Each structure stands twice: as structure tokens, then as C-alpha cells.
């Protein structure tokens, strides 16, 4: 067993840094969308209508099925929900 330490679970399980960063962004967007659903008291059918997707897609979102969503899809859903997305790019020093 290795004693390596990672900054996030994505760094530990993904093969490349690029894949890990993509997964971090997708998981953050998914958590924000799920929190929006909870905060507003919407059910999955209402969230699906608002996000412009089907109810099974919202179910996938709520259950954390990150592999089923692209960044583009999540950005579109967040925008449809009225959420504002900001991106910060930091040097990897």
C-alpha cells in the first residue's frame, strides 16, 4: 500500500491531471445544482423542467453520477437554473 498523499480524491483515482481537473469541475457544478434543488425545495420533475433535461437526468445528478455529465451540459443546466458561474485559473506552482 502506498503512502502517497493527494490534494483530492480525483487526483488519486484519475489517470491524468487533465482528467482529475475535469472531474473536479464537474463535481463542483453537480454539487451546486443539487444544493440549488434542495435550497429551492424543487422536486426532480420541477428541476428537470427548469434545467431543460429529463427527470432521470436530474436523478443521475442528485445521485452523483458524475460520469454521465459533461462540463458543457452542467454549465447549461446551471445557467438555466439562474446560477452564475465563475472560473478561476491558478498557476500550478
pLDDT of residue 2: 63
Task: Please give the Cα distance from 54 to 48 (Å, whole number).
Answer: 5
Q: How many CB atoms lie within 10 A of CB 91?
A: 4
pTM of the predicted protein model = 0.82
Which tens digits make up the pLDDT trace of 4-17?
765 655 554 556 77
Instruction: Give the sign of the dihedral formed by CA 72, CA 74, CA 80, CA 82.
Output: negative
Confidence of residue 77 (pLDDT cuts 50, 70, 90): very high
* pLDDT tens by residue, 55-76: 999 999 999 999 999 999 999 9
User: Out of 14-28, 52-66, 74-88, which region has the weakest mean confidence (pLDDT)?
Assistant: 14-28
Determine the Cα–Cα distance for residues 20 and 9; give it in Å rounded to an integer. 9
How far apart CA 82 and CA 32 sit, in angstroms, is: 12
d(CA 23, CA 46): 26
Amino acid at each position: 500500500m502506498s503512502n502517497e498523499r493527494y490534494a483530492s480524491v480525483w487526483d488519486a483515482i484519475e489517470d491524468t491531471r487533465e482528467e482529475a481537473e475535469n472531474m473536479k469541475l464537474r463535481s463542483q457544478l453537480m454539487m451546486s445544482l443539487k444544493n440549488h434543488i434542495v435550497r429551492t425545495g424543487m422536486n426532480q420533475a420541477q428541476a428537470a423542467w427548469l434545467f431543460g433535461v429529463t427527470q432521470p437526468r436530474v436523478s443521475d445528478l442528485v445521485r452523483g453520477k458524475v460520469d454521465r455529465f459533461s462540463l458543457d451540459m452542467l454549465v447549461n443546466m446551471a445557467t438555466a437554473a439562474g446560477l452564475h458561474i465563475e472560473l478561476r485559473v491558478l498557476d500550478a506552482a
